[in-house]
Amino acid sequence: MRKGHTSGIVRDAACRVSDEPRECCGIMGVFGIDNAAELAYRGLYALQHRGQESAGIVASDGKSIQSKKGLGLLSEAIKPSELADLPGHIAVGHVRYSTTGSKRIQNIQPLVIEYANGIVAIAHNGNLTNARSLRSYYQSCGSIFQTSTDSEIIVHLLADPQYRDAADPPGKVLSQIRGAYSLVMMDASSLVAARDPHGFRPLSLGKLDGGFVVASETCVFDLLAAKFLRDVEPGEIVEFGHGVPNSRLFGRAGQSTLSRCIFEYIYFARPDSVVFGETVHNVRLRLGENLARTWPVEADVVFSVPDSGNSPALGYSRRSGIPLDSGFIRNHYVGRTFIMPAGDTRSSEVKIKLNVIRDVVEGKRVVVVDDSIVRGTTCKAKVHTLRQAGAREVHLRISAPPIRFPCFYGIDFPHADELIAGEKSVEEIRDFLGVDSLGYQTVEGLVTAVPGSRESYCLACFTGEYPVEVTEDMDKYAMERRYQVGARGDLP
């Protein structure tokens, strides 16, 4: 797709981008293990960093399906005592940050629906780029939607007779959707895991006690003492039912350009996870080393904006020889998606989340390493707190290149005019932030730090080159606005 082409995309004033990249979601599935819901619950704790708006678990004993869901962190949404109400050897789980659809009870996943073939539950990570046209079609046919998420499109496809009665219903359904998706689906007796043909979002397969575990990140397997087997391949469906799991390719598998989200390495994934074949910590170390080579500076101390800046700060220190210390202390009882309720509260928000150790910064020339800059106002507040603590010089180093373009594949910064690098030069950003120097990672430095070729990653938020065309009106609240319902006819 040509650079910057986003036909039909309009800005919705209701959508406001955060000062940090917002996560997609975390998904997992368990098959063939007693007390599967308990394993899913523990596994979701390991994925809590990927979403803190809501959580849900669905389980089956082979005959009936039960579910528990709620808003908030996992510990708030589901109490451990409630797991006794989720018996069975099959389970799927989800922790959500809403990249499509607002924060409301109806949108909590896994979605559970009953159709002609029984009850099915689905947990989805990613964004579907043709969701609006598919929703328009099914509404024109009389379908009733219960949520404003793009994930619900998948269950409507499953219920459509032309796909429901096909030889391979999951494969037929997934061939109709476009964009980014890693997902797990279950009915009363089976579990299905799948990944889109571009491989945008990670999904891994592990083995435990004669059964199987599927999860967004391998840190889940470490917690559960499961053995990591492999990644679910782009364009692959893995079905767990009776006997050996059935693996097959579907749709455009092998024909689509591999477009793995490089932001998994920069920010989303935990540093102890293996993503796309490499431990995240190692990649972030190399990002920090690259920054030290590209943007050297004379300074007294290096420290990170925790937590995603920790590994690159270590890499910067090792390469530059500047001592590493802790300049910011993070309040771990405030989640990644914490937002003050109203007013001009950016400075207060920073002080609640981060506190400066004055002895580390006072009178010092400091190098601060952060993962990315989205809008810049929170970053500006961080710099202000360092100046107040007596920092003599502040040199900011950023693990990611400037974010100049919107993402339509599962990261919640959908409008270029709300991205500081979309409107300002690096020099203007430096002046806005009030730092003595600002050094971003180059795109070339980024791709040299990750395994595989540049062509195997999605870099659209940096370059504007979109691997999957987006022609529909796409933003977080696209499913909640009134729009013209399409005419009855063939699926788009």
Residues acting as catalytic residues = 25
Instruction: Specify the residue for token string 């993070």.
Output: 330
Q: Which residues pair with 194 in a beta bridge?
A: 183, 237
CA–CA dist 110, 34 (Å, integer): 20
Q: Which residues pair with 114 in a beta bridge?
A: 119
Burial of 165 (0-12, 13-18, 19+ CB in 10 A): exposed
Task: Report whether 9 contacts 473 (CB < 8 A).
Answer: yes
**Distance set, CA 273 to CA 126, 203, 220, 268, 292 (Å):** 19, 11, 8, 11, 24
| Amino acid letter for position 52 | Q
Residue 414: CB partners within 8 Å, gap ≥ 6? 15, 17, 406, 407, 408, 474, 475, 476
Residue 438: CB partners within 8 Å, gap ≥ 6? 395, 396, 398, 426, 429, 430
CA–CA dist 194, 171 (Å, integer): 9
CA neighbor of 421 nearest in space, from 384, 379, 449: 379
Structure tokens given for 113 = 């629906």
Whole-angstrom distance between the N-terminal and C-terminal Cα of the chain?
A: 19
Residue 362: CB partners within 8 Å, gap ≥ 6? 389, 390, 391
**Distance set, CA 465 to CA 206, 343, 434 (Å):** 34, 36, 31
The DSSP code for 364 is -
CA–CA dist 137, 142 (Å, integer): 9
Residue 346: CB partners within 8 Å, gap ≥ 6? 19, 340, 377, 378, 380, 381
CA neighbor of 102 nearest in space, from 15, 177, 33: 15
